[in-house]
Amino acid sequence: MENRSRNVLRCGCLCAGLLALVFLPRSEALADPGAAISPSNKSVMSIASSSSVSASSSSAASLSPSASPSASPSASPSASSSASPSPSTAASSSAVKKTARVVSNLVDRPKRELFVPLKIEELTEPTRELAEALEIMPLLREVNEPSGALSPERKSEIRQQILETVLESYFDVASIQGEAEKERGNLEALRQTLIDKRDRSIEVNNAVNFIASGTLNTVGSVLGFAKNALPFPGNLNQMLSGVVSTGMSTYSLKQAGGGKTRGTGSPTVVAELFGRPVDRRTTYPESVWRFLHSRSLDHPERTRVEQLENYWISRNWLEPHGSKKEQAKLDLVCGVESARKALTIDDLTDQINVISDISAVSSLMAHHLRDLLRMIDSDVLN
């Protein structure tokens, strides 16, 4: 009987060990046998251990009747405590969560002052030139005098005048940008129409080329098989097949250009820059016109529009000076009525690029207007 109880106890322990090996990964068990056990595996092992303890207690009770019956309940607290995760397991899981961050090359910086006021001696040369063009530089000098001779009423009046000028100039820039975006959208729609037409023509050309060449080659081969006819008809058909294939391939090169389309016939924001007719929408506000014809910090020897013109010529968006097609190209880009029937895909692309550059350079005016606003900040004037 004693041997039988020992065998039962050994079988229970062996089953508990097998269950632990099945539910516990090998790598975790080798690395950290205590911390790698998950709560689910611990519960399995606790059940197995409790069963083995109960088996041993029952066997011991059967062997010694005089033993105390409180021996088996004493094993239950240890089993329940083993089912809950240990503090070392919770600490390791929290450490893994902290280290699992997204890898990024972004950097952070300390907080700075939200709106930094400027003084008149801190203005850059382009901002000074814009202030002179907007005719507010004398007001800025007056309001920033360190003597303090101005009354609060006069300071408020000067600040109001400068603020109105800056805001009106900002909305002038926004109006030019809005008109440029609208024109670019219309031109991109026209260009997409030509591109779709070109792609469709090339597909039809390829289909006709394949069908005609295959048909003529087949007919030529069939006629060449006849015994009572000369080989001339077959050779003639094969020759026609080559002619058709060559002609269709040559015509596809012309179709690759996309053809031409009718323009909108309305002037663009580039028209006034080159002396072409304009309307109310494409006439530049005086503030933006003065900004575009002022000199930039990068190239003080040329104005901003002169830099743009040289850049457009270098990118072949405009014809070089003195070229035979110079004026005709300008008419196309400016949207002159007489040239609106001869717009190709390349002409539309050049027109879109030129208008986009005008919008981008005009938007740079907002940087200088921001600096002018900071000069009349209440922290500076008070």
Q: Clarify whether residues 281 and 140 are in a common domain.
A: yes
- Structure confidence at residue 339 (pLDDT): 56
Name the DSSP letter for residue 285. P
What is the pTM for the complete model shown? 0.61
* Residue 12, in any domain of the structure: yes
pLDDT tens, position by position, for the chain (382 residues)? 555 556 656 656 665 665 555 455 444 444 444 444 444 444 434 444 444 434 444 443 343 433 333 434 444 444 444 445 555 555 555 554 555 567 889 999 999 888 888 888 888 888 999 999 999 999 998 888 776 677 888 888 999 999 999 999 999 999 999 999 999 998 998 888 888 887 777 777 776 666 666 666 656 655 555 556 555 555 555 566 666 666 666 665 555 555 566 666 689 999 999 999 999 999 999 999 999 999 877 788 899 999 999 999 999 999 999 999 899 899 889 988 765 567 888 888 999 999 999 999 999 999 999 999 988 876 555 5
* Residue 239, in any domain of the structure: no
Angstrom distance (rounded) from CA 220 to CA 217: 5
| 261 phi, psi to nearest 5 deg | -145, 165
- Structure confidence at residue 317 (pLDDT): 93
Residue with token string 């003065």:
290
Q: Clarify whether residues 12 and 142 are in a common domain.
A: no
Q: Clarify whether residues 52 and 146 are in a common domain.
A: no
- Structure confidence at residue 97 (pLDDT): 52
- Structure confidence at residue 299 (pLDDT): 82
Q: Clarify whether residues 54 and 158 are in a common domain.
A: no
Q: Clarify whether residues 34 and 144 are in a common domain.
A: no
Q: How far is CA 309 from CA 213, 304, 312, 345, 362, in A?
A: 50, 9, 5, 21, 15
Beta-carbon-side half-sphere exposure of residue 175 (alpha carbons within 13 Å): 16
Whether residue 106 contacts residue 127, with contact meaning beta carbons closer than 8 Å, is answered with no
Q: Clarify whether residues 268 and 359 are in a common domain.
A: yes
Q: Clarify whether residues 269 and 183 are in a common domain.
A: yes
Domain containing 304 equals 121-194+259-382
* Residue 284, in any domain of the structure: yes
Angstrom distance (rounded) from CA 202 to CA 294: 48
Q: Which helix (H) or strand (E) holds 366?
A: helix 365-375
Angstrom distance (rounded) from CA 51 to CA 47: 6
Report the residue count for the chain. Answer: 382
Q: What residues have CB less than 8 Å from 279, skipping those under 6 apart? A: 266, 267
- Structure confidence at residue 191 (pLDDT): 86
- Structure confidence at residue 343 (pLDDT): 81
Rg (CA), the chain: 44
Q: Clarify whether residues 267 and 184 are in a common domain.
A: yes
Q: Clarify whether residues 78 and 169 are in a common domain.
A: no
For residue 31, give the 3-state DSSP assignment. Answer: helix
* Residue 137, in any domain of the structure: yes
- Structure confidence at residue 197 (pLDDT): 81
* Residue 46, in any domain of the structure: yes
Nearest to 238 by CA among 211, 214, 267, 210: 214
Query: What is the token pair recorded at 198?
Result: 């070109």
Beta strands in the chain (DSSP E): none
Total of domains in the chain = 2
- Structure confidence at residue 151 (pLDDT): 83
Q: Clarify whether residues 26 and 129 are in a common domain.
A: no
